[in-house]
A and B are shown apart, each in its own frame.
Chain A
């Protein structure tokens, strides 16, 4: 569990993780916020559904993918928090566009 070891004075901003409002220090990356909040897994892989969390914290491993303000597959370790930012876990593949599986059952 990550803990704060004594952070310098920083302004705080409000972000929304799923349904929960969190006050976080300005300048934090989204990945740092998740780890500080004890959120260990931020996504499930598209291949097997295995849980994954941040790994490299420098933008190379693409393990910390989350949905930010509705945009899927954002690297949490490369994005910095902003007031009002919405953060959600990424479940499998990017959920964009129509869903062919839903379209299977025409309403008529």
Chain B
């Protein structure tokens, strides 16, 4: 039996961020993780710290996203200081490219809506082809324009995952790896988590197990209706730095690789790759930047996003088992700063703030 203040189930980017933050608050924390081939959404992540598409029609989500994006510089600096891992974070703004007038018109309307809903906190500009070309040299003729927001940025999602794990350990966090959770037993205000061959007894419990949250949550009186949504990514060989500002579908990493995405496919638990989707991604990317035609794909990747029915994260504390929390989000990179800085404080306080009410799974209850 391993005793601790807090157990976090899930070593993906959501769980690792929360565990990192709990350890910073001096809670004796155990991070429980699966093995090497777990469905790890962070590995298939595009690496955007993205504000301009989040929370349209849901102001609390937009506000949470902005808050996290605003805290990202602090997160990147802190992880670097504690672990030496450079997250390759930059907030150069971001662009959503529009291929065709129709896309441009629709995008423009959405951005206006988001600005209105956030009482002007969300800032954006719609840029035409010419203005955008100055920002993004090499832009193809098919791009009629796009939306630009200075609030956006990007980082290396893999290094984030590594940095959070390293930071967690640096702060005396303990990790239990290769330990899938079979069962959770709440009793007398504590939680016994049976994981691998071990039992972890924790005062507080955080479920951040991605898709597995759906199955684990009911054991502590929570409900997390998440389903997999596959996204595929193509990764090119390293090419000369051409793209300083990330776009939603094409991003260049600090090493020079070009990432191309992003597909949304409802395919159940199949995290493979499919040629027809790869072709679609390649066509969109080469229309956006025609010179990419002479770049080579060295890897393709499929990963499963953790989707809620409405695409908005779920954060809850169990009513029947206080002390048990859950966090399920598909934007684990963007929300990393909130997961690392805010969520742990709320857990320690034993209470989620009222503005988080919008994220409770109770919103799915039939009235």
Contact = CB atoms under 8 A, between A and B. Distances in A.
Contact of B292 (A47, A92, A97): A97
Interface stretch (B240-248, B341-349, B358-366): B240-248
Contacts of B289: 97
A99 B240 contact: yes
Interface string A82-99: 000000000011111111
Contact of B240 (A47, A71, A95): A95
B137 A103 contact: yes
Nearest to A104: B244
Nearest to A73: B237
A20 B237 CA distance: 29
Interface string B289-300: 101101110000
Nearest to A94: B239
Contacts of A99: 240-242
Interface string B105-144: 0000000000000000000000000000000011000000
A4 interface: no
A94 B258 CA distance: 12
A15 B239 CA distance: 26
A7 interface: no
B141 to A, nearest CB: 15
A3 interface: no
Nearest to A101: B241
A93 B240 contact: yes
A98 B238 contact: no
B137 A93 contact: no
Interface residues of B, number: 18
A92 B240 CA distance: 9
A46 interface: yes
Identify the interface centre among B237, B255, B256: most chain A CB within 10 Å of its CB.
Answer: B237
B237 A97 contact: no
A107 to B, nearest CB: 12
Interface residues of A, number: 16
Interface in A56-108: 71-73, 92-101, 103
A100 B256 contact: no
Contacts of A94: 237-240, 294-296
Nearest to A98: B137
A96 B240 contact: yes
B295 A96 contact: yes
Interface of B: 137-138, 237-244, 255-256, 289, 291-292, 294-296
Given A94-B238, A95-B240, 20 more contacts: A46-B238, A46-B255, A71-B294, A72-B294, A73-B296, A93-B237, A93-B238, A94-B239, A94-B295, A94-B296, A95-B239, A96-B239, A96-B294, A97-B242, A97-B289, A98-B138, A98-B242, A99-B242, A100-B240, A100-B241
10 contacts: A71-B294, A93-B237, A94-B294, A97-B138, A97-B291, A98-B137, A98-B138, A98-B242, A98-B291, A100-B137
Q: Which 9 A-B pairs have the closest CB atoms?
A: A98-B137, A97-B291, A93-B238, A98-B138, A97-B242, A94-B239, A100-B241, A46-B238, A93-B256
